[in-house]
């Protein structure tokens, strides 16, 4: 597994270490156990956005802002989205590093244990020579970092446009997941757990990390923003100068006290949740599954995939990724065998 350092991320971490004058680590935070499923931001596919630069477009009461050297661009355009509708085209130019986000500083977030960031992304391949990396396209999550403290980097997840590797960042560097993507649309999710100070990553409802990943800059109790990011993926000159293009659609931020897939809200993702999903498949909304699905299009097969990806996790024990997930057919056969055994016994 190749590891490589993002100089921009490294620079941010060094600056954070130098400017955090009053840093008090918080290792464990208790959140209410009641079900909270709050939507913090939903671009609704950028359909209501004006064509042109994403920066300064209104999202609720707040504007999209940008940071970096301004060498790249993020533009809302027609006929480029998942369903050939609107989406945002991200261009990374040579030596550019840029971020775009809706800030939540001062909002007191999170109000729940988990914060989930979802987006659809298509990353175009580059014509780079062998040995060149990047650029990186994806999402970075920061805490508030109220002055004089620099915002802490909590999570990074995205794609190397040249190698096609899906990568995340730990406390040291970028890490390849072993999963690659083509130049089609794929669904990405970051799930932050503010009680364990860790995050999980998934592509197309498939969890890619075997164990939770620690917040990059250490423990945190705040959520500042989730940035669409575009920058270099390695420090050699060809990689620094490598341009690239990606598309972002359906960008959303939610918070909840329930594990994704915990459809009966009992703190565990298990077979009982599958039963709840099966009994309410086709429902127009997710109320019947405790709003613990993907938050889109009611109760559907994507909610099953979410349950499958999180099967075996509990609020108290953390992630148990070694548990084998039964397929629907196997579950149905199990149910039939139990019924048959019960009839024979009678």
Backbone angles phi, psi at 334, to 5 degrees: -60, -45
Outline which parts of the chain fall under CATH 2.60.120.200. 3-256
Beta strands in 10-164 (DSSP E): 37-42, 52-53, 58-59, 62-63, 65-68, 73-77, 87-92, 98-101, 114-123, 136-142, 153-160
Q: Using only the alpha carbons of the chain, give its radius of gyration.
A: 21
Q: Considering Cα of 277, then 188, then 173, then 28, what sign does the dihedral take?
A: negative
Angle CA(157)–CA(158)–CA(159) in degrees, nearest 5? 150
- H-run or E-run covering 8: helix 7-19
To the nearest 10°, report the CA torsion of 311, 316, 317, 323: -10
Q: Name the residue with tokens 């050939």.
A: 84
pLDDT score, position 1: 39
* CA angle 127–131–134, rounded 5-degree value: 60
User: How buried is residue 329: exposed, middle or buried, by Cβ count under 10 Å (0-12/13-18/19+)?
Assistant: exposed
pLDDT value at position 31?
Answer: 46
Q: What interhelical angle do 271-279 and 328-345 show, nearest 10?
A: 100
CATH number of 3-256: 2.60.120.200
DSSP labels, 283-304 = -SSSGGGTT-S-SSSSS-HHHH
What pLDDT sits at residue 37? 57
Residue 152 carries which DSSP code?
P
CA distance 235 to 256: 38
pLDDT for 61:
82
For residues 46 and 84, give the distance between their C-alpha atoms in angstroms, rounded to a whole number: 12
Give the H or E element holding residue 341: helix 328-345
Its sign, for the CA torsion 334, 339, 340, 341, is: positive
3 state SS of 227: strand
pLDDT in tens, the chain (346 residues): 344 555 455 445 334 433 333 333 333 444 444 444 588 999 999 999 999 999 999 998 899 999 999 999 999 999 999 988 999 999 999 999 999 999 998 889 999 999 999 999 999 999 999 899 999 999 999 999 865 678 999 999 999 999 999 999 999 889 999 999 999 999 999 999 999 999 999 999 899 998 999 999 999 999 999 999 999 999 899 999 999 999 999 999 999 998 888 998 888 999 999 999 999 999 998 888 888 888 777 899 988 988 988 898 887 644 444 445 555 555 544 443 433 333 333 3
Give the pair of three-digit tokens for residue 285. Answer: 């909304």
pTM of the model: 0.80
> Would you say 96 and 210 are in contact if contact means Cβ atoms under 8 Å apart?
no
Of 112, 87, 138, 140, nearest to 34 (Cα)?
112
What pLDDT, on a 0 to 100 scale, did the predictor assign at position 147? Answer: 58
């Amino acid at each position: 597994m190749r590891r490589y350092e993002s100089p921009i991320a490294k620079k941010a971490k060094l600056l954070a270490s130098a400017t955090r004058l009053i840093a008090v680590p918080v290792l464990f935070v208790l959140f209410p156990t009641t079900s909270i499923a709050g939507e913090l931001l939903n671009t609704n596919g950028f359909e209501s956005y004006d064509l042109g630069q994403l920066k300064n477009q209104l999202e609720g009461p707040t504007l999209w802002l940008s940071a970096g050297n301004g060498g790249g661009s993020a533009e809302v355009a027609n006929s480029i989205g998942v369903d050939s509708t609107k989406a945002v085209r991200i261009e990374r130019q040579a030596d550019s590093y840029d971020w775009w986000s809706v800030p939540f500083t001062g909002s007191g977030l999170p109000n729940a244990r988990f914060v989930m960031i979802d987006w659809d992304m298509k990353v175009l391949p580059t014509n780079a020579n062998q040995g060149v990396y990047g650029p990186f396209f994806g999402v970075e999550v920061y805490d508030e970092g109220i002055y004089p403290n620099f915002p802490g980097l909590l999570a990074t997840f995205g794609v190397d446009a040249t190698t096609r590797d899906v990568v995340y960042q730990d406390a040291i560097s970028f890490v390849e997941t072993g999963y690659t993507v083509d130049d089609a649309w794929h669904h990405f999710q970051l799930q932050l757990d503010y009680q364990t100070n860790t995050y999980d990553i998934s592509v197309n409802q498939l969890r890619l990390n075997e164990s939770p990943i620690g917040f990059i800059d250490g423990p945190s109790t705040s959520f500042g923003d989730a940035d669409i990011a575009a920058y270099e993926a390695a420090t050699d000159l060809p990689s620094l100068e490598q341009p690239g293009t990606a598309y972002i659609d359906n960008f959303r931020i939610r918070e909840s006290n329930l594990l994704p897939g915990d459809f009966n809200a009992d703190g565990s993702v298990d077979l009982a949740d599958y039963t709840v999903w099966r009994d309410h498949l086709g429902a127009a909304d997710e109320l019947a599954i405790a709003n613990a699905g993907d938050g889109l299009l009611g109760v559907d097969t994507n909610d099953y995939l979410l349950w499958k990806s999180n099967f075996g996790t509990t609020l108290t024990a953390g992630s148990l990724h070694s548990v084998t997930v039964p397929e629907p057919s196997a579950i149905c056969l199990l149910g039939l065998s139990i019924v048959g055994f019960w009839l024979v016994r009678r």
